[in-house]
Structure 1
Amino acid sequence: MDNIKVSVIVPVYNLSQYISSTLDSIINQDFNSYELIVIDDGSTDDSLDIINEKLSKSLIEYKVIHQENSGVSSARNCGIKEARGDYLVFVDGDDYITGNHLSELYNGESDFSLIQLIKKDGEKLSTPHHFSKRQISWDDLIKMELNMDIPLSFCQIMYKTSIIKENNILFNTDAIYGEDIEFALKALAYGRDVAISNEATYYYIQRGDSAIRTSDFRRFDIVKIFEDLAEFYKELGKNDLADLIITSRIPKAIFGNMNYFFYNNYDFDEVISKMEELDLFTKLSKFEGDKKFKYKIKLFLLNPKLYYNSWKKLKNSID
């Protein structure tokens, strides 16, 4: 097929329960001129057999690549290298998209475009965000994410391939948490405006056995990801974005992940010990923002145990 407009990249590792539905959702798009690149990252189940059988019966342009198990970032990077489309779209192998996902994203003009995402946890569905504008600057979108004013996932975005390849933007293969949003926030900095659709066309399936949920304190790796991103923005002369990371995004990430550990009954002393090891108390204290959240941080820093006991009491009363 000539003139491929979009390359859809799907990493797969032991997803035999889900990959068939994912592929069906990609095959059945109301959009022409796209290719599907599936990277099997050393699956030990029958994922690869399902992929080959499913795609061999389809009419779309596709390529299946098998590699030794190297992680999801390596698989996505492999897909980027192989992509021939003008734009890139990422779909995880256990998620699915609606039939108009590509047509909602593609306009052939914007550097980036964005649709809305729904998180699906069993029968529970999240409420997608609604933008008041049809187009915003990349700078404004990044600031909204760094302030955590909006939920933003890398898979909501369609990326111009030339921007990604010419600037050598790749997924961080050393990280298992935060590498996806790092990719998006780096890529956006090289573009112009972002086209917005309020259509919710991506369904992110939350699974209890995912890599993120089984990675213990690796969730705190997000702090290093954002510190590196702050240095990246400084090199681009975007000191305002770098400052926003230090004074907003990092403290919020620390506090959010800390509460995640408490909510999931991690040992208090182990959580505090890890936070001390990573100097997260100092980084929490740098928060500048809304007074209510700053007050919560101040209470925690004054007496972590008291905060924890009060939080636990409140949680139990709600449960």
Structure 2
Amino acid sequence: MDNIKVSVIVPVFNSSQYIGATLDSIINQDFDGFEIIVIDDGSSDNSLEIANEKLNQTTVPNTIIHQENQGVSAARNKGIEVSNGDYLVFVDSDDYITPNHLSELYNGENDFSLIQAVKKDGDTISKPHVYSQDIISTKEFIEMELRMQIPFSFVQLMYKADIIKNNSIRFSSEYIYGEDIYFALIALSYGDKIAISNEATYYYIQHSQSAVRTSQFRRFDVVKIFEELAVFYKKQGLNDLSQLVITSRIPRAIFGNMNYFFYNGYDFDEVIGKMKELDLFNKLSKFEGDSKFKLKIRLFLLNPKIYYNVWKRLKNSID
């Protein structure tokens, strides 16, 4: 295809309730020269039929691929493989974008560009992050993410396709959690600058359902993928970033997911047992950085049960 500036990649799996609105939001962009690539990852509902119906009615160039269920990473990778655009954008099948999403992202000059994303739960919309600069180096941005100083999701970025394809950067199908942030942090290390827009053009739709306990502690798998990231950075000679993964991003991921399990009613002894099995206490102790967070970690490591009881009491007082 000629004159395709941007490929919008949409992985779909059993999203019949949302995919129509998602595709409408992409079709109705105030931007010329883009294509839509939908990868149906073995849906058992009528998602594929809805996608076909929507895309048959538009003049926007599009491709629909149906494959056996292999997971969202494989679907996104297929989208990368068949894409024709100079840049890549990812949209999840239960979210939506505003009409100026692509025009805010695209300038054709920088390796990456970034917009702001917000969460929408009914009529409630979260506040977007605001950056003070229009351009930021990829190195500085990576450092900010590894310190978790900024909210960030891989869908906020527009990626130069040559960086992704020439360096064989793909989503890892081995992991359920963290494969998307890993993709972004690898890709960013090959670039130079990120153009920043403070426009909130990506909407995560929060589904009002009680937490479903299906993860079986798989959320802790994110530690493994960050360890792989640390190894990658070290091989690239980015020793400072590698060290930052170990001393900041991994401890923060451990602590955040531990509290997620506590908040969602997982048994204390099961959580602690899993953490010991995965050697997460040792990895948590390597944290360096913010003094308040470091104190929380120290108190937890000193006596996990007391920390848990205090946390639970404070949580209940807020609830």
Name the TM-score class by shorter chain: over 0.9
**How far apart in 2 are the matches of 1:3 and 1:192?**
25
The aligned counterpart of 1:176 is 176
The aligned counterpart of 1:254 is 254
The aligned counterpart of 1:245 is 245
**How far apart in 2 are the matches of 1:31 and 1:210?**
38
Using the TM superposition, give the Cα deviation of residue 210 of structure 1 relative to its aligned residue in structure 2, in angstroms: 11
DSSP-derived class of the 2:127 partner: coil
The aligned counterpart of 1:8 is 8
Please list, as runs of the form range in 1=range in 2, the aligned pairs for 1:6-155 lying within 5 A after superposition. Answer: 6-155=6-155
Q: How many residues in Structure 1 have an aligned counterpart in Structure 2?
A: 319
**How far apart in 2 are the matches of 1:105 and 1:78?**
23
8 Å CA contact retained: 1:177, 1:212: no
Residues 134-163 of structure 1: CA distance to partner in whole angstroms, max 9, x if unpaired?
000000000010000001100000000000
Please list, as runs of the form range in 1=range in 2, the aligned pairs for 1:186-205 lying within 5 A after superposition. Answer: 186-205=186-205
In structure 2, the CA distance between the partners of 1:212 and 1:28, relative to structure 1 (3 Å rule), is farther
Using the TM superposition, give the Cα deviation of residue 216 of structure 1 relative to its aligned residue in structure 2, in angstroms: 2.8
Length-normalised TM-score, structure 1:
0.98
**How far apart in 2 are the matches of 1:210 and 1:141?**
34
Using the TM superposition, give the Cα deviation of residue 125 of structure 1 relative to its aligned residue in structure 2, in angstroms: 2.0
**How far apart in 2 are the matches of 1:48 and 1:165?**
27
In structure 2, the CA distance between the partners of 1:160 and 1:48, relative to structure 1 (3 Å rule), is same
* Displaced runs of 4 or more, over 3 A: 207-214
The AA in structure 2 aligned to 1:142 is: I
DSSP-derived class of the 1:64 partner: strand
8 Å CA contact retained: 2:121, 2:208: no
**How far apart in 2 are the matches of 1:244 and 1:170?**
23
**How far apart in 1 are the matches of 2:241 and 2:208?**
34
**How far apart in 1 are the matches of 2:37 and 2:313?**
49
**How far apart in 2 are the matches of 1:112 and 1:312?**
42
| Residue 236 (structure 1) aligned with residue 240 (structure 2) | no
**How far apart in 2 are the matches of 1:99 and 1:140?**
30
Using the TM superposition, give the Cα deviation of residue 215 of structure 1 relative to its aligned residue in structure 2, in angstroms: 1.7
**How far apart in 2 are the matches of 1:123 and 1:26?**
21
**How far apart in 1 are the matches of 2:241 and 2:164?**
20
8 Å CA contact retained: 1:176, 1:211: no
**How far apart in 2 are the matches of 1:56 and 1:269?**
54
The aligned counterpart of 2:164 is 164
In structure 2, the CA distance between the partners of 1:313 and 1:122, relative to structure 1 (3 Å rule), is same
DSSP-derived class of the 1:66 partner: strand
In structure 2, the CA distance between the partners of 1:234 and 1:184, relative to structure 1 (3 Å rule), is same
DSSP-derived class of the 2:315 partner: helix
Using the TM superposition, give the Cα deviation of residue 213 of structure 1 relative to its aligned residue in structure 2, in angstroms: 6.7
In structure 2, the CA distance between the partners of 1:210 and 1:262, relative to structure 1 (3 Å rule), is closer
Length-normalised TM-score, structure 2:
0.98
The aligned counterpart of 1:276 is 276
DSSP-derived class of the 1:131 partner: coil
| Unaligned segments of structure 2, at least 5 residues | none
**How far apart in 2 are the matches of 1:151 and 1:213?**
25
**How far apart in 2 are the matches of 1:34 and 1:210?**
37
8 Å CA contact retained: 1:14, 1:46: yes
8 Å CA contact retained: 1:13, 1:43: yes
Give the aligned CA root-mean-square deviation in angstroms.
Answer: 1.4
DSSP-derived class of the 1:216 partner: coil
8 Å CA contact retained: 1:98, 1:201: yes
8 Å CA contact retained: 1:176, 1:212: no
DSSP-derived class of the 1:143 partner: helix
Using the TM superposition, give the Cα deviation of residue 123 of structure 1 relative to its aligned residue in structure 2, in angstroms: 3.2
Using the TM superposition, give the Cα deviation of residue 214 of structure 1 relative to its aligned residue in structure 2, in angstroms: 3.2
| Unaligned segments of structure 1, at least 5 residues | none
Using the TM superposition, give the Cα deviation of residue 291 of structure 1 relative to its aligned residue in structure 2, in angstroms: 1.1
The aligned counterpart of 2:307 is 307
The AA in structure 2 aligned to 1:115 is: I
8 Å CA contact retained: 2:211, 2:264: no
Out of 42-51 and 212-221, give the one that drifted further.
Answer: 212-221
Using the TM superposition, give the Cα deviation of residue 206 of structure 1 relative to its aligned residue in structure 2, in angstroms: 2.7
| Residue 317 (structure 1) aligned with residue 317 (structure 2) | yes
